[in-house]
Structure 1
Amino acid sequence: MNGHRIHRVAKLTGLSKDVIRVWERRYGLVKPSRSSNRYREYSDEEVALLRFVKAQMDLGATIGGLAAEGHDALVARMRAATPVTPEEEKPHDRLLVDLIGSLDPLDKAAFERKLNGAVAVIPFEEALHRILLPLQRRIGELWHEGRLNVGVEHYVTKLVQQKLFSVMNQLPVNESGPRVLIACPEGEIHEVGAQAVAYIAATRGCQVYYLGPNLPTSDLLSFCERITPDLVLLSLTDTKPEAAAIQQLKDLEAIAGRWPVAVGGQGARALGHLLHETNIELLDDLTALHSRLMVLVSTRMLAARG
């Protein structure tokens, strides 16, 4: 999770440093941590919340009225009102070209310096959508085309995974949100997309159970029986022959008959013509994922209030 100093937050939000400090002291909208040298450091979510509050005020809301809602209620409303936009998904094209240029021949220092520097200066979820996932997709394409050594592909993949796990480990444990199980079914070994989904679900207030790649259906079913998930999200990246795809869906329907199941990824999109005959949902982009998670979280919140 990135920590942003106040001058950077001012640039990211369009608010002055004085306004940010007043909203912090008077209204408690954000609670920055302190770095080792005592500088304020604001999290990605606090930057997003300040953006959301500013946008609400541009629409006519008052800071007093917004602050009266309370921090948690504002965060929940922000999450529900903030789908992934096409601009957020648009990659940093020039940066991607530079990064890939540092891989052949491999210049480790240059590659990691450029990647780390780019990811550090923007909220992590934006970096995920605009840098890390597009980079991973491009690396995969180059490997499939025979233009990139598999060792280099593994090197980049592990760096992306390290960043995802690092921010995941810094997220607070959510004990009251809906239970979301995330995995790659048997035969699916590419897990970066599933890890990204796990991060997004955790930041939306879900209890995330991430089980990783190549999970046999029997073990998936057994784990579902253990935790009773509110939603099972499965990443399908490989495009299978028709017969194999039909068999895979048949196996997954044993789970979908008892718990809600949704699939995403390139392999899932290729199954679109088969999914309408099943109880399995298709989440074919990040906006659809966001909307599904918001429905899940809102339903849990309403049930808790009732």
Structure 2
Amino acid sequence: MARYRIKAVAHMLGIRPELLRRWEQRYQLFAPQRADNRYREFDDEDVQLLRYLCQQIAQGRAIGELAAEGREALLRQSRVPVAAVPAAQPEHARLIDALLAATCHFDKYRLEALLTEGAALYSFTTVLTHIVTPWMHRVGDLWAAGQLPMACERLATVVISQRLLTMLQATVPVAPAPVLICACPAGESHTLGLLIFAYVMQQAGWQAYYLGADLPCRDLQYACQQVQPALVALSVTHTVDQPHCLDIVRELDARLGGTCPTWVGGQAITRYGASLQPHRVRLVPSLEATQALAAHGESPRAAESQAEAPLAKDTVRQ
């Protein structure tokens, strides 16, 4: 079961930390545990309960009325499937359209409010997969077509990246956790898909070392020597041309492939993958495919023996 610091829960649900503490003291519906480092940690049930409370309050119920029902009754109610499940997809579409409109209007506060609304309705992973990813695909398409200023695209990227970094830093992985290094090789600056991947993997029980953009191979090699990762995941989204992509993969293959499992995905790998053919580094269909294997407990080395799947697009296009 995942553990979350109070700051992470506040960001997920759009609740002020002071309000969370007040609810805890007054209604005693949850009792976050103190970790060895003295941070207060909420578990998955606490987050589920808080999300349900937010939904009910948004529908007009009072917190005191809800608290009177007790924790166990509220948890049971939160697990009851919503009758109008088919309406979930239109709701996703509404939020995506609203986020896109706020992006086009360069409205930071509206973006923040919409992301908070989504987090109150769904798990943060669902928001990332079904709302943020298609939204950022559309932002990238508009920017590439010259229909959206770079400032608008950059604002959208920064708003979601800041929220993701906060969540990644505040989320406590289950110990002992296998180490995962996430980075973009030298020359690669598009990090959002990789950041989403790092967060989702940490939720699945990995300890993610997110190293960001433009990391030279020698420094990536140093990081591997320091922490001995169970997996290195790299994203190559945009390269100038096929030879450049080939040079990147060859260097990774020579420096890292023999020391620890290294998987490389991204749109550039999708475009040029058939011609790359590394000896030790594995080209994956997408970072989503890596996530699906590793999140279900698959050993990176065991997965090396599987047949290669067709390459697909990376998580987020930008």
Normalising by the smaller structure, the TM-score range is 0.5 to 0.7
Query: Percent of aligned positions with the same letter in both sequences?
Result: 29
Shift of 1:143: 1.4
Greater shift, 148-157 or 239-248, is seen at 239-248
Moved more, 226-235 or 277-286: 277-286
Report the secondary structure of 1:135's partner residue: helix
Shift of the alpha carbon at 1:191? 0.8
Residue by residue, what CA displacement relative to the aligned partner does 1:7-51 show, whole Å, maximum 9, x if unpaired?
Answer: xxxxxxxxxxxxxxxxxxxxxxxxxxx64223536968438999x
Residue equivalent to 2:293: 291
Counterpart of 1:37, as a letter, is W
Tell me: higher relative CO, structure 1 or 2? Use CA pairs within 8 A at least 6 residues apart.
2
**Contact 1:240 1:267 (8 Å CA) reproduced:** no
Deviation per CA, 1:173-195: give whole Å up to 9, x if none: 45522111110101110111111
Q: Aligned pair in 2 of structure 1 residues 144, 229: CA closer, same or farther (>3 Å)?
A: same
Aligned to 1:37: 23
Q: Is the 8 A contact 2:103 2:153 kept in 1?
A: no
The residue number in structure 2 matching 1:144 is 144
1:205–1:275 distance in 2 versus 1, CA, 3 Å? farther
Give secondary structure in 2 for the equivalent of 1:232. Answer: strand
- C-alpha distance in 2 between matches for 1:90 and 1:261: 38
Contact 1:179–1:229 (8 Å) recurs in 2: yes
Query: Separation in 2 of the partners of 1:275 and 1:173?
Result: 35
Over the aligned positions, Cα root-mean-square deviation in angstroms equals 3.2
Q: Which residue of 2 aligns with 1:262?
A: 263
**Structure 2: 5+ residue stretches without partners:** 1-7, 12-19, 33-41, 50-87, 303-318
- Structure 1 SS opposite 2:209: strand
Query: For 1:55-93, what per-residue CA distance to the aligned partner results, in whole angstroms no more than 9, with x for missing partners?
Result: xxxxxxxxxxxxxxxxxxxxxxxxxxxxxxxxx999922
Would you say the 8 A contact 2:96–2:135 is kept in 1?
yes
Q: Distance in 2 between matches of 1:3 and 1:115?
A: 12
TM-score by length of structure 1 reads 0.67
Where does the alignment leave 5 or more consecutive residues of structure 1 unmatched?
Answer: 5-33, 51-87, 300-306
CA contact (8 A) 2:173 2:205 kept: no
Q: For residues 159 and 106 of structure 2, what CA distance do their matches in structure 1 show?
A: 14
Which residue of structure 1 lines up, in the alignment, with residue 60 of structure 2? none
| CA distance in 2 between partners of 1:267 and 1:297 (Å) | 22
Cα 1:47–1:139 shift into 2, 3 Å: farther
1:98 deviates by 2.1
Shift of 1:130: 1.0
CA distance in 1, matches of 2:169, 2:99: 26
Q: Give the secondary-structure state (helix, strand or coil) at the position aligned to 1:182.
A: strand
Aligned-partner residue type, residue 46 of structure 1: E
Work out whether residues 283 and 289 of structure 1, in 8 Å CA contact, stay in contact via their aligned partners in 2. no
